[in-house]
Amino acid sequence: MAMAQQRNGSADAAAAASAEPGWSAAAPRLRALALELIAERLAASADELIALAGGETHLREARLSSELRRTTAQLQLFAGLLRDGEVLEATIDRPDPNWPSGPRPDLRSVLVGLGPVLVFAGGNFPFAFSVAGGDTASALAAGCPVLVKVHPGHPRLSDRTAALVSDALAEAGAPAGTFALIHGEAEGRAVLADPRVAAGAFTGSHAGGRALYELACLREVPIPFYAEMGSLNPVFVTREALTWRREEIVAGYVASYTLDAGQFCTKPGFLVVPEEMGVEEAVAACIREMPAQPLLNSATGDRYQDALWSLRDQSAVTTVVAGDSDREAPTPSLLAISARSLLANAGTVLTECFGPTSVVVGYRDDDELLALAGAFGGQLTATVHAERGEEVAVQLLERLAAIAGRVLWNDWPTGVAVSYAMQHGGPYPATTSPLHTSVGTAAIRRFQRPVAYQGIPDPLLPPPLQEANPWGLPRRVDGRCQRLVMQGEPSQEARR
Amino acid sequence: MAMAQQRNGSADAAAAASAEPGWSAAAPRLRALALELIAERLAASADELIALAGGETHLREARLSSELRRTTAQLQLFAGLLRDGEVLEATIDRPDPNWPSGPRPDLRSVLVGLGPVLVFAGGNFPFAFSVAGGDTASALAAGCPVLVKVHPGHPRLSDRTAALVSDALAEAGAPAGTFALIHGEAEGRAVLADPRVAAGAFTGSHAGGRALYELACLREVPIPFYAEMGSLNPVFVTREALTWRREEIVAGYVASYTLDAGQFCTKPGFLVVPEEMGVEEAVAACIREMPAQPLLNSATGDRYQDALWSLRDQSAVTTVVAGDSDREAPTPSLLAISARSLLANAGTVLTECFGPTSVVVGYRDDDELLALAGAFGGQLTATVHAERGEEVAVQLLERLAAIAGRVLWNDWPTGVAVSYAMQHGGPYPATTSPLHTSVGTAAIRRFQRPVAYQGIPDPLLPPPLQEANPWGLPRRVDGRCQRLVMQGEPSQEARR
C-alpha cells in the first residue's frame, strides 16, 4: 500500500476510488480488524508520537497521552460496532401482496460506504481530530477510503501517523489506495473538487469551513460536507446557583476556559451571571497569577490576538484582565459586558476567540437571562448552572436544547465523551449539518448510504442480505429486529 | 388552527416557528393520532378528492384511488412508527469512570424535530407526493411543522386536502401553525430563504431542484434541502434473458414506460438490449396501436415535447415510433441508439424525457453492456434482466449498486413500495442527498436532529430520557437496546 505523500491528490483520489469497491464490500470484521491494528500500531508508538506532537503543538505530555488513548479507544469502539454489525442496518421486507400501501416485493436494504472521503484535519487535536482521528475512524468503519488533508500545524506527526495507519491497513489486507495524505491548502481544495471524492469532513474555523462547504455544495455533483466550525459554548448561571456554589463555579469556569490555553471548540466563551455579584473580580483574582501557556503555533497566536483585540476594541466590552500579548504564549484574559450591551451588539460581540479568553456577561433579572439564551445562534454546547427546582432553569434548558447539540447541567463543556449518546454537532454555525455528530458512534452515519435490492436471487445478494445471514448480523425483518443466537446466550428474537 | 392560504409566507413561517416547540415536544402517540386522523379524513373524502384530482391532473380514477390508499397507508405507517417509538432513538450512556476513551458522564440523547420544513409538492402524484404525501407525513412524524408549497398543477385539490389536514391536526390538538400552504413560485423561494425554516424537501425536475438546493445551501444559515430530481432508470437485459423471455420483457417494458403516460420519476427511460435481436421492432409493434393518454397538464406537455425533440434532433438517435405530437395527450414514442453512439454522446443523450418515451440501446457484446452500465450517473433505480448463473449479471449488479438507490432483478422500476427497506433516493443527480430516502420509514431521518443531555437531573430531562421511561420507548442503554415488557408479551430485554 502506497503512502503517496508526495504524489498529487488526483492520483490519490483515483487510487481511493479503485480501492472503494473492495473496502466497502469487505466483511465488517475485516474492517474491524484493520481499525484494531491501527490502534495497536499507534499505541505501540505512543512515546514517539507524543514526542513528535509535543514538539509541533506545544501541548502538554499528559494531555497528549490521554488524547492518544482516546484516539485508540475510538478506533476500538468503531471496531466493536462493526463486529456487532447493527450499523449496517440490514433490513429485509418479505413480499406481501396485502401490504396496506400496495403489494410489496422482496425488498432488502443495507448501508454501504458513500465513497472516498476527504478529511480536513483539525489543528488543536493532533491525534483525536487529525490523521487517525474520529473522522478517519468513522469513514473507514463505514467502508470509505480516506484521504486526509494534513493540518499544517503538525506535518511530521501527520506523516508518521499516516505511515502507521498505512502499515496497519496493509497488514489487514485493505486494498491499496484505502488511505493517503494530502499536503497543502490548494491541493486540498483541488481534491475536494475531484469527482471521485464522495464526501468531506472538516474541523476548524468558520471561515475555512464555510468556504469549503460552498465548494462542496456547488460542485457539478455536490457532495455532503460535514464541517465542525467551533462554538461559543455559553454557560448560564442562575442567581441561586451562584449564591450557593460561587467558589465552585468560578473555579470550574477558570479551569475550563484556560485548559490547554483555551484551544478547544468546546471552550466556554461566555459566562452569563447575575451582575453585581462580583464574579468578574473573583475570576480575575484566579487568573491574574496564572502562568503563560504556549499556543499551538504562531498562526494560532496571530489569530488569537486579532480576535481578542477585535473584542477589546468594542466600546461595549470591558477588559477586566488584559493578558500579556505574547503571540506564542499569552497569559489568560478576561472580558466583560452587560446583558443590555450584548443584546444590542450581538452581531459583533458573539464571535469565537480561540485561546485563553472568555467573556463574563452580567444580567439583572431572569428576563434578561432568558433573552440572552435566545440571542445565541447554533452551538456545539450550552450549559446551565442552577439549583434544582428553579423555574428559570426549565425555561433555559428548553431554549438551549433548541440551539445546541449538547446541553449540560452543573458541568463544563470541555471534555467530549466518545460514546453512544454523544452529540458533538449542532445547528449552524456550529456545523453545516445539524443531523450529524463528529464524535461518538453515530459519526459513522455521515458516510453511509442505503442501497435497496428488489427481487434479487439469494446468491447474488450481498452477504448482509442473504437468507443464511453468513455474517451473523442483527437484521430488521418485516419491521422487527432479529439477532442470531450467539454461543452461550439465551435464544432471543427481539421485536424492534 | 388557521389554514392561512391567503396569508403571506412570512406569517406562515412565523406561525410554524411558534408551533414548533409544542409539536416537537408532543408525545409520539399524540403525533401518531394526528397522522391517523389525517388518514381518516382523507379516506372519508376519497370520492371528492379523487374527482378533484382527476379533473386537475387527468390521471385515471383507478390510479388515483390506489394512490390515495397508498397515501393514507403511508400516514398510518408513520403513526405506527411513532407508537413504537424506536424512531426517537433514545440513548442513555450511564456514567463510567473507566470508559476506555476517558471518563464518561451521564449522557442521554434523543432525536427531535429539525424545525419548520418547507415541502415543494410534486405534480405527478397529487396525493402521495403532494400536500399530505410522504414528505409531509415524515416531517410531521419527526415533530416538524410543515409548510407545503402547492404544485400549480392541482391547486384546488391542494386547498381541499389542506383543509382536511388542518382540521385533523386541530382535532388532535396540534398547535396552531403546525401546517400551512404556500402558493406561488416566488413565495416558495421567499419562504425557503426565511431564517425560521429549517429544512426543505422537493420532488420535481433537475433544474428546479438544483436551483432551490443552491438557495438553501447559500443562505446565511444553510439548511438541508432534500431534492428528488428524477432519474433515467436504465434497464439492462442480457442476451440470455432476452433469448428465454423475450415476449415477457418486451411486454413488461412497454407497460412500465407507458403507464400513466410515462409520468413517473421511476419510468424506465433506457432499455439496454443486444442489438440485432429485434427488440425495437417488437416494442414498436406493441405501442403503434396504443391510444393517446392525457398528460397532467399543458405545461407537462410542452416540456415533454421539448425533451422528446431534443433527443430526436440528435443525429445519433433514431426515431423508431414517432408518437403524435399532441401536447395534451400524445401517443407513445420509441427512440433507439447504438451502444457506441450512446457512449460517445452520453452528455447529450442521457437526459430525462418525462412522458411516454423511452430509448432502446443496442449493444454488441458484454463489454459494451458493462461499459454502458458505467456511463450512467446517479439513479433512483437500475434494473437487470438476466438468467441465473450469468457472470455478467454479477458484474452488472455490482456496478449498478454503486450508482443507484434501488437495484431490481427481472422486474420493472415503476411502483415504489412504502416500507422499511425502501430506498427511494440515490447519488446525484437523482437526489441532492445520497444518505436519505423520500419514501419508506427511513424518510423521517431527514427531519430529525440529535440533542444530548449531560448530567441533567431526571425531572428536567425530556420524557424519552427519564429513568422511569414514561412513554415506554425502546431505548439504547450503554450500547444495548432495551424494550419495556408490553402487556401480553413475554419478557424480553434485547441486546442490541
Active site residue B217: no
Average pLDDT, chain A: 95
pLDDT in tens, A327-337: 999 999 999 99
CB–CB contact A101 B451 (8 Å): no
CB–CB contact A450 B428 (8 Å): no
In total, chain A counts a number of residues equal to 496
What is the pLDDT, as a whole number, of residue A8? Answer: 83
Q: Grade residue A491 by pLDDT with cuts at 50, 70 and 90.
A: very low
Given A93, A422, A427, which is nearest B421 (Cβ)? A93
Check pLDDT > 70 for residue A64.
yes
CB–CB contact A428 B221 (8 Å): yes
Q: Say if A22 is an interface residue toward chain B (CB within 8 Å).
A: no
Q: Which residues contact A432 (CB under 8 A, 6 or more apart)?
A: A209, A210, A213, A225, A226, A227, A229, B222
Helices B134-142 and B61-84, packing angle to 10 deg: 10
* Residue B38 near residue B132 (C-beta atoms within 8 A): yes
Instruction: For cell 434578561, name the residue.
Output: A368
Looking at residue A47, its amino acid is: D
Most A-contacting residue of B111, B117, B420, B473 (CB-CB within 10 A), to test interface: B420
Chain A contacts of B494, Cβ < 8 Å?
A: 481, 483, 492, 494-496
CB–CB contact B457 A409 (8 Å): yes
pLDDT in tens, A225-254: 999 999 999 999 999 999 999 999 999 999
Give dist(CA A147, CA A5) in Å, integer: 11
Check pLDDT > 80 for residue B486.
no
Instruction: Pick the closest to residue B214 from B222, B447, A226, A228 (CA basis).
Output: B222
Check pLDDT > 50 for residue A3.
no
Q: In angstroms, what CA-CA distances link A39 with A74, A159, A203, B94?
A: 9, 16, 21, 25
pLDDT in tens, B271-297: 999 999 999 999 999 999 999 999 999
Check pLDDT > 60 for residue A117.
yes
Nearest-by-CA chain A residue for B25: A398
Instruction: Pick the closest to residue A199 from A449, A25, A424 (CA basis).
Output: A449
Per-residue pLDDT, averaged over A48-53, amounts to: 98
What is the pLDDT, as a whole number, of residue B325? Answer: 83
Reported as type and span, the H/E element at residue B236 is: strand B235-237
What is the percentage of chain B residues whose pLDDT exceeds 90? 94
What is the pLDDT, as a whole number, of residue B493? Answer: 39
* Residue B121 near residue B150 (C-beta atoms within 8 A): yes
* Residue A410 near residue A403 (C-beta atoms within 8 A): no
Give me the DSSP letters along A145-161. Answer: -EEEE--TT-HHHHHHH
**Angle in degrees, CA A344, A238, B470, rounded to 5:** 115
Cell numbers placing B163: 383543509
Most A-contacting residue of B435, B447, B448, B478 (CB-CB within 10 A), to test interface: B435
Q: Which fold has domain A235-409?
A: Aldehyde Dehydrogenase; Chain A, domain 2 (3.40.309)
pLDDT in tens, A475-487: 999 999 887 654 4
Q: Grade residue B7 by pLDDT with cuts at 50, 70 and 90.
A: low
What is the pLDDT, as a whole number, of residue A455? Answer: 98
Q: Say if B439 is an interface residue toward chain A (CB within 8 Å).
A: no
Looking at residue A458, its amino acid is: D
CB–CB contact B101 A407 (8 Å): no
Out of B144, B265, B286, B353, pick the active-site residue: B265
CB–CB contact A453 B406 (8 Å): yes
Check pLDDT > 70 for residue B304.
yes
Instruction: Pick the closest to residue B46 from B26, B27, B66 (CA basis).
Output: B66
CB–CB contact B104 A69 (8 Å): no
Check pLDDT > 60 for residue A5.
no
Check pLDDT > 90 for residue B5.
no
* Residue B408 near residue B249 (C-beta atoms within 8 A): no
* Residue B194 near residue B9 (C-beta atoms within 8 A): yes
The CATH architecture annotation of domain A9-229+434-448 reads 3-Layer(aba) Sandwich (3.40)
Give dist(CA A353, CA A351) in Å, integer: 6
pLDDT in tens, B49-98: 999 999 999 999 999 999 999 999 999 999 999 999 999 999 999 999 99
Looking at residue B87, its amino acid is: V
What is the pLDDT, as a whole number, of residue B387? Answer: 97
Instruction: Decide the pairing of beta strands B448-454 and A404-409.
Output: parallel
pLDDT in tens, A418-442: 999 999 999 999 999 999 999 999 9
Give dist(CA B35, CA B28) in Å, integer: 11
pLDDT in tens, A441-488: 999 999 999 999 999 999 999 999 999 999 999 999 999 988 765 444
Most A-contacting residue of B76, B101, B220 (CB-CB within 10 A), to test interface: B101
Query: Which residues 256-285 of A have a C-beta within 8 angstroms of B?
Result: none
pLDDT in tens, B211-244: 999 999 999 999 999 999 999 999 999 999 999 9
Active site residue B265: yes
* 3-state secondary structure (DSSP) of residue B36: helix
Given B101, B435, B442, which is nearest A224 (Cβ)? B435
Q: Say if A195 is an interface residue toward chain B (CB within 8 Å).
A: no
Total Cβ atoms within 10 A of residue A20: 24
Residue extents of the structural domains in chain B: 9-229+434-448, 235-409
Given B388, B401, B474, which is nearest A457 (Cβ)? B388
Query: Which residues 383-422 of A have a C-beta within 8 angstroms of B?
Result: 388, 393-394, 397-398, 401-402, 404-411, 415, 417-422
Average pLDDT, chain B: 95
Per-residue pLDDT, averaged over B396-416, amounts to: 97
Ordered strands of the B270-274 beta sheet: A480-482, A475-477, A91-93, A107-113, A448-454, B404-409, B379-385, B235-237, B270-274, B357-363, B333-338, B318-321
Reported as type and span, the H/E element at residue A358 is: strand A357-363
What is the pLDDT, as a whole number, of residue B279? Answer: 98
What is the pLDDT, as a whole number, of residue A215? Answer: 98
What is the percentage of chain A residues whose pLDDT exceeds 90? 94
Out of A144, A265, A286, A353, pick the active-site residue: A265
Q: How far apart are the CA of B361 and the nearest CA of chain A, in angstroms?
A: 23
Q: Which residues contact B391 (CB under 8 A, 6 or more apart)?
A: none
Give dist(CA B301, CA B58) in Å, integer: 12
Per-residue pLDDT, averaged over A203-220, amounts to: 97
Most B-contacting residue of A77, A111, A454, A478 (CB-CB within 10 A), to test interface: A454
pLDDT in tens, B363-401: 999 999 999 999 999 999 999 999 999 999 999 999 999
Out of A36, A67, A228, A368, pick the active-site residue: A228
Give dist(CA B359, CA B372) in Å, integer: 13
Q: How far apart are the CA of B480 and the nearest CA of chain A, in angstroms?
A: 10
